[in-house]
Amino acid sequence: MPVTIRTIKTAVPPTILHQEQARDVFAAQPGLTRLGQRLIATSFDSAAISTRRTAVAELTLDRSSENPVFFDAATRLLLSPSTRVRNELFAREAGPLFVEAARRALEACPDLSPEDITHVVTVSCTGFYNPGPDYQVVRALGLNPQTRRYHLGFMGCYAAFPALRAAKSFCEAEPDAVVLVVCGELCSLHVRSSNNPDTIMGSALFADGAAAAVVTARPPGDGGGVAPQLLLDFFETTLTPVGEESMAWNIGDEGFEMVLGTYVPHIIDDHIVGALEPLLDQDPTLPDAYSEIPHWGIHPGGRAILDRVQHRLELDDAQLAPARRVLRDYGNMSSATVLFVLKDILDGSGPTAAAAGERVCSMAFGPGLTVETALMTLLPGPASGSGSVTGAGPVTGAGPVPGPGPEDR
């Protein structure tokens, strides 16, 4: 039976980071070399990001904390909490994001009730705790206590695809299954001042957010067929022959440490065509030219990565518009980001509006260097009217809504 994504919904923390303010704070930190200051200016200014969200409410310029842990707004100094302190904040703040995204996704399917959910798959690489977000989603949404739970941890930016692939397998094995997939990342917990180019690049790109998808082979019931869906056609995964040391995610004494080498866009440029071949070969009806596939849900790992993909595959600006919009408004939220992009396509906003029957090719990149790909088909349904992904709402339950903040991941 065909397995579809019935809906994708998102949730973001309330604290907004403005890229220019974040750049200025990072550039003013003590101990930076002149090269470090230049790298900060270049990395932040060329990131094609306007705003990002963070679960760290301290990261704001307009109010000070009495006992700051991450950022002292009075002195504008970035502090260096331990990995334990950072993870404790993850345990407090991640749950509300997972739960809210999941709640919105389930509410968007009025023909489904909490009792209909058979599986929950959660994804994160930015923190650990147990009972974890999978448990919290079951409890908070009133799901059946026998709901089968799975958590994919520490896989990185591509992890939404293994989660969706697992959901598809569950639904193929059990046609009545309804799987709730929830990706949530708090990348900004691991921010720090540094002269290291990889750390600087991570600070310029990464942000916090969550996204949830309802996956099932059930046909929509009464009131359930009100929006377009994405048919999950094929998935593939590929390791590039080089790049193992160019993208990594390690645990240090003062947070998790990103390795994001400047050569990553070149590796993707060299190997993206080969990584796509196993996926596209599964459907002989596809056109030969990549540009003839109408929609591309590319994980916006960074502006340079999007530029390389667009150039190598000869895609036009409209085909990259969903990824660039998400990057501009939300930054790179690791595993959740590609679901934000697919939501933008599914919602059909602006000149890139999708039509029923059109194909969607999606991909994400992560440590290894791993390339995960998926081919989907848009199924008919009246337009949702919700517009682009900019409708993602903040989780106000995670704390007060402060003003613009200084920083990012």
Q: List residues with catalytic annotation.
A: 157
Residue 343 CB contacts under 8 Å (≥ 6 apart), including other chains: 8, 9, 10, 211, 389
- Give the HSE-up count for residue 69: Cα atoms under 13 Å, Cβ half-sphere: 14
Structure tokens that stand for 182 in this block: 């929830």
Which token pair is 155? 């896989």
How many CA atoms lie less than 13 Å away from 370 in the CB half-sphere? 18
Residue type, 338: V
CA dihedral 306, 309, 310, 313 (to 10 degrees): -170
Measured between alpha carbons, how far is 19 from 328 in angstroms, rounded to an integer? 10
Q: What's the CA gap between 27 and 42, in Å, rounded?
A: 11
- Residue 47 phi/psi, 5-degree rounding, is -75, -15
